[in-house]
Amino acid sequence: MEQILMLKNMKQPLPYMNLVEVLNVQDDDVVYVGGSLVEASVNKYSGRVGNRLSDLDVFILRKHERYKETSATYITDICRTDFVSCFGINCDVEVYDMDIIKEIIDGVNNIRFEEKERILNCIKMPKGYSFEKINEFLTRFFYSIPIYNIEYYNWLKNVIDINAFFKLKEYYCIQVIDNMKEDIWGNVEVGEYTTALMLCREAIYRFIEYIFSREKIFNDRRKWAWIKIENLSNDKKEYSDVYIYMKKVLYGDGTKLLEGDIRKYVKYLEDKIEEYSIEVDF
Partner 1 sequence: MNNLNEINKNENAIIRKLEDNYYIFIDGKCYKVNETGALVYKYIGSDMPISLFCQKMAKKYDSESSEMIMKDVMAFIEFLENINVLSV
260 near partner 1, rule: CB under 8 A: no
For partner 1, the binding residues in 115-144 under the rule CB under 8 A are: 115
- Our finding on whether 279 is near partner 1 (CB under 8 A) is yes
The residues in 98-117 that bind partner 1, with binding defined as CB under 8 A, are 113, 115
Backbone angles phi, psi at 10, to 5 degrees: -90, 140
Complex with partner 1: residue 251 or 282, whichever CB lies closer: 282
Instruction: Pick the closer one to partner 1 by CB: 52 or 116.
Output: 116
Between 66 and 272, name the residue whose CB sits nearer to partner 1: 272
**Of the candidate residues 21, 161, 178, 253, the single one contacting partner 1 (CB under 8 A):** 178
278 binds partner 1, rule: CB under 8 A: yes
Q: Between residues 106 and 117, which has the closer beta carbon with respect to partner 1? A: 117
Q: Which stretch binds partner 1 (CB under 8 A): 134-142, 189-197, 201-209, 268-276?
A: 268-276
User: Does residue 171 interact with partner 1 by CB under 8 A?
Assistant: yes
Under the binding rule (CB under 8 A), the answer on residue 189 touching partner 1 is no
The binding site for partner 1 (CB under 8 A) comprises: 113, 115, 171, 174, 178, 267, 270, 273-274, 277-282
